[in-house]
Structure 1
């Protein structure tokens, strides 16, 4: 009986130790899998303070912050204007914390903005999945359009289809698209004012407050703009 009461706590401690070991192995495996995802078949387009220019250096793609804040965004801006003028922002609502660990990557035509701090793989923004077999290539065009092309040179994704707050020449505002202002001059998160084609006929432009309150419409297009104000 004495022997039996002595062995019982040893078995209990051994069982607890086994659970701790298995838990540690599971966590390690999970961490390694996440790390592998960042280096599998993906290709880094830019990282840190690297940039991509359009052919004639009209526009530049890179990571930026505003007012020296520790929040970083992937965006497109005019390259030759002294005061930064941003025309498109990817991760408007999910800023990155560190420039050094920020990257834009492509995998099978899908773009992702990642935070790689401490060997992590946090995706803060991603484009729609074009589902192509090839890796795809990224180009910044002279009109400010960021495009992904497949092996045949066919465009499978473009930033013009997902506008932020700026309407550039060459853009087409279509059903379901909306231009939305910045929350403030230092915060590119979506603000309260937006512009879209007015449903259900989509034959006029309207300005919205708060996403659903119309305060201006262009009226039906007749060749002349006749504003109608809503209060």
Structure 2
């Protein structure tokens, strides 16, 4: 009987992810099968697969919604294949990295903090942040959208860093890799948001410029009080804040 109970708990732990708080450090990584949950339990971060695929990704989804609803994927174009030994960790150089079971780096935050006391935390707003040993922000998922804009995110250009926050569709509902549609802020002339097919660069949508109340081509922004945005344009950045 004891052997049966032991087997049950072993099998249960294989199929039910365990939580590891809301953060990782250099000494405490996140292994495939574990997840981070934000302090108010709104968002969850961990490894996942979709459909019958054996590809493993690291992403963020809503913790309390029964249907897994993703808002961000780290290694969308470089999944771990047929391998449940993946680890999300902070490297000795201060970078966030995803490593497969063979020790190969498949994704990196590509920053240069060189901090050995960095902390990566999933926050209540869905932002996955990496702070260095001084508490300064070194990297955040909000600067690298996948296909979703959450409240608190900025969407557009930061001219100081050359960062262009844009979105690319999923390839299919069961494939989070980069799809054919790019949504971005175009700064040629009056800034406006555009969508293009990446395969042939055909323009499929444009929002019209900001008119002080909303995007001129999106009258719903003025009719319905469900869109809360702030448009910012100066010498350092052109972007839309989702409030």
TM-score interval (norm. to shorter): 0.7 to 0.9
Q: Counterpart of 2:88? A: 104
Q: Counterpart of 2:182? A: 194
Q: Tell me the SS of whatever aligns to 2:146.
A: coil
- Structure 1 residues 224, 52: closer, same or farther in 2, change over 3 A? closer
User: Is the contact between residue 58 and residue 80 of structure 1 (CA under 8 Å) also seen in structure 2?
Assistant: yes
Q: Counterpart of 2:240? A: none
User: Is the contact between residue 56 and residue 84 of structure 2 (CA under 8 Å) also seen in structure 1?
Assistant: no
Please tell me whether residue 89 in structure 1 is matched to residue 79 in structure 2: no
User: Is the contact between residue 204 and residue 221 of structure 1 (CA under 8 Å) also seen in structure 2?
Assistant: yes
Deviation, structure 1 residue 191: 0.6
Q: Distance in 2 between matches of 1:221 and 1:154?
A: 33
Please tell me whether residue 225 in structure 1 is matched to residue 215 in structure 2: yes
- Structure 1 residues 89, 193: closer, same or farther in 2, change over 3 A? same
- Structure 1 residues 219, 139: closer, same or farther in 2, change over 3 A? same
Q: Distance in 2 between matches of 1:152 and 1:207?
A: 39
User: Is the contact between residue 49 and residue 99 of structure 1 (CA under 8 Å) also seen in structure 2?
Assistant: no
Deviation, structure 1 residue 42: 5.2
Correspondences of 1:175-214 after superposition (within 5 Å): 175=157, 176-201=164-189, 203-210=191-198, 212-214=201-203
Q: Distance in 2 between matches of 1:84 and 1:177?
A: 24
Larger radius of gyration: 1
Q: Which runs of 5+ in 1 are unaligned?
A: 1-40
Deviation, structure 1 residue 152: 2.0
* Candidates 118, 122, 130, aligned match of 1:148: 130
Q: Tell me the SS of whatever aligns to 2:155.
A: coil
Task: After superposition, give the CA deviation of every residue in 1:8-64 in whole Å (9 maximum; x if it has no partner).
Answer: xxxxxxxxxxxxxxxxxxxxxxxxxxxxxxxxx954521121000011010000000
Q: Which runs of 5+ in 2 are unaligned?
A: 1-24, 158-163, 219-243
Q: Distance in 2 between matches of 1:49 and 1:224?
A: 43
Q: Tell me the SS of whatever aligns to 1:217.
A: strand
TM-score normalized by the length of structure 2 = 0.71
TM-score normalized by the length of structure 1 = 0.74
Please tell me the root mean square deviation across aligned C-alpha atoms, in Å: 2.0
Deviation, structure 1 residue 137: 0.5
